[in-house]
């Protein structure tokens, strides 16, 4: 951890505990997700000037027109992804600042994360290293097609909104696996696909607002 974060570091434990209490009030019940979010220092992932706001339930800018998702939505998506089960291999599409990646590292045995914007990925790598989070494997790539050479995955979580579900992602779900993503053309809905014995099921949940999934890398 770099020294310029020390000041807020002293109060962040208490601030995080308050964030966890708020997540509970908002309906998050998965203790494993709550415990993970209680220990990952969210303020380290945002710009120093915004660090004091890191534990508020808001999305914050992380550069390049992108945002770190609000704590509630991270908790909600990871709770859906787990559905009460331990996770083996997981794919995250849209590393962004790497915050959710760090939380995932505490929930899954193997984490792969892909990001299309190189400077964001490099910054995320650096932050994860600073925090000694060495597990996740980060890749500079367009995640739309998933990672066929690595899959199948027990969970796939996408942090950018797609207009339709990429067929490749459904194909990379292991039996029992779940794909959680914001989906929609005009309005986005948090959507979960599950690979069940009867085939792929789709559950449409609440409306959400995410940055759009974009093709290619930059």
Q: How far is the CB of 154 from ligand SAH (least distance, A)?
A: 18
- Choose between 20 and 104: whose C-beta lies nearer to ligand SAH: 104
Query: Would you count residue 162 as binding ligand SAH (CB under 6 A)?
Result: no
Q: Tell me the per-residue interface mask from 41 to 80 with ligand SAH, x by CB under 6 A, - otherwise.
A: ---------------------x---xxxx-----------
Cβ closest to ligand SAH, residue 96 vs residue 151: 96
Secondary structure of the chain as H, E, C letters: CCHHHHHHHHHHHHHHHHHHHHHHHCCCCCHHHHHHHHHCCHHHHCCHHHHHHCCCCCCEEEECCEEECCHHHHHHHHHHHHCCCCEEEEEEECCCCCHHHHHHHCCEEEEEEEECCHHHHHHHHHHHHHCCCCCCEEEECCHHHCCCCCCCEEEEEECCEECCCCHHHHHCEEEEEEEEEEECCCCEEEEEEEEECCEEEEEEEEEECCCECCCCCC
Cβ closer to ligand SAH: 144 or 191? 144
38 binds ligand SAH (CB under 6 A): no
**Catalytic residue IDs:** 69
Site for ligand SAH (CB under 6 A): which residue of 87, 108, 156, 159?
159
CA dist 24 → 18, 100, 182 (Å)? 10, 18, 22
State the minimum distance, in angstroms, from the CB of residue 147 to ligand SAH: 11
User: CA 218 to CA 216: how far, in whole Å?
Assistant: 7
CA distance 24 to 4: 31
Is 123 a binding residue for ligand SAH by CB under 6 A? The answer is no
Exactly one of 71, 94, 136, 146 binds ligand SAH (CB under 6 A); that residue is 94
- Binding-site member from 20, 33, 93, 104 for ligand SAH (CB under 6 A): 93
For ligand SAH, the binding residue among 80, 89, 90, 100 (CB under 6 A) is 100
Site for ligand SAH contains 166 (CB under 6 A) = no
Binding site for ligand SAH (CB under 6 A): 62, 66-69, 93-94, 96-97, 99-100, 114-117, 120, 142-144, 159-160, 211, 213-214
């Amino acid at each position: 951890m770099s020294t310029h974060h020390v000041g807020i570091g002293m109060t962040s434990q208490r601030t995080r505990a308050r964030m966890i209490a708020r997540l509970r009030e908002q309906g998050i019940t998965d203790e494993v997700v709550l415990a993970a979010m209680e220990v990952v220092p969210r303020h380290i992932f945002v710009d120093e000037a915004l660090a004091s706001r890191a534990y508020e339930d808001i999305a914050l800018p992380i550069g390049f027109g992108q945002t770190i998702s609000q704590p509630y939505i991270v908790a909600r998506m990871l709770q859906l992804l787990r559905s009460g089960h331990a996770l083996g291999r997981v794919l995250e599409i849209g590393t962004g600042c790497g915050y959710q990646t760090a939380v995932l590292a505490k929930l899954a045995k193997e984490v792969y994360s892909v990001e299309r914007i190189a400077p964001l990925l490099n910054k995320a790598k650096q932050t994860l290293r600073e925090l000694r989070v060495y597990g996740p494997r980060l890749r500079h790539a367009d995640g739309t097609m998933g990672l066929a050479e690595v899959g199948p995955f027990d969970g796939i979580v996408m942090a950018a909104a797609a207009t339709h579900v990429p067929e490749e992602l459904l194909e990379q779900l292991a039996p029992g696996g779940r794909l959680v993503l914001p989906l929609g053309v005009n309005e986005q809905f948090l959507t979960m696909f599950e690979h069940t014995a009867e085939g792929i099921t789709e559950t449409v949940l609440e409306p959400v607002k995410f940055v759009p999934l974009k093709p290619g890398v930059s």
